[in-house]
């Protein structure tokens, strides 16, 4: 079981992902609604895994991954992207993200991504 921080500016998406993660047996230790919020909550909560939306206000997901990696080089980040954001996903992977899942979420794909990043 992993401790996970869910980051997305859309409440519906956070709720959907939290539901999937809980059913898979993981603990959602916090939620963030933008990249800046996520950076602060990673420092505070020390999650095992961070799910990160790409397009958000305040600070986007790619910037947030870069900031998180500055103080936690081993952070495991799974990017969440909508269809058509492949270039941004590549930027996120280069910034240090471990994997990505495409919205809408499927429980199987979320589980696969978690297994990959948790080893």
pTM value?
0.94
User: Is 45 in a helix, a strand, or coil?
Assistant: helix
Q: How do the domains of the chain map onto residue ranges?
A: 3-118
CA distances from 19 to 43, 54, 99 (A): 24, 20, 20
User: What fold, for 3-118?
Assistant: Rossmann fold (3.40.50)
| Cα(36)–Cα(63) distance, integer angstroms | 9
Per-residue pLDDT tens over the stretch 41-92: 999 999 999 999 999 999 999 999 999 999 999 999 999 988 666 788 888 8
Pairing outcome for strands 3-7 and 49-53 = parallel
């Amino acid at each position: 079981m992993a401790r996970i921080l869910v980051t997305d500016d859309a409440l519906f998406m956070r709720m959907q992902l939290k539901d999937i993660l809980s059913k898979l047996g993981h603990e959602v230790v916090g939620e963030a609604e933008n990249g800046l919020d996520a950076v602060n909550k990673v420092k505070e909560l020390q999650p095992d895994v961070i799910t990160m939306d790409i397009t958000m206000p305040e600070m986007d997901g790619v910037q947030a991954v870069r900031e998180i990696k500055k103080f936690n080089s081993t952070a495991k980040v799974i990017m969440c992207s909508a269809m058509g954001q492949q270039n941004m996903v590549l930027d996120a992977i280069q910034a240090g993200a471990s994997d990505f899942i495409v919205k809408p979420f499927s429980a199987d794909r979320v589980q696969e991504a978690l297994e990959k990043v948790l080893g």
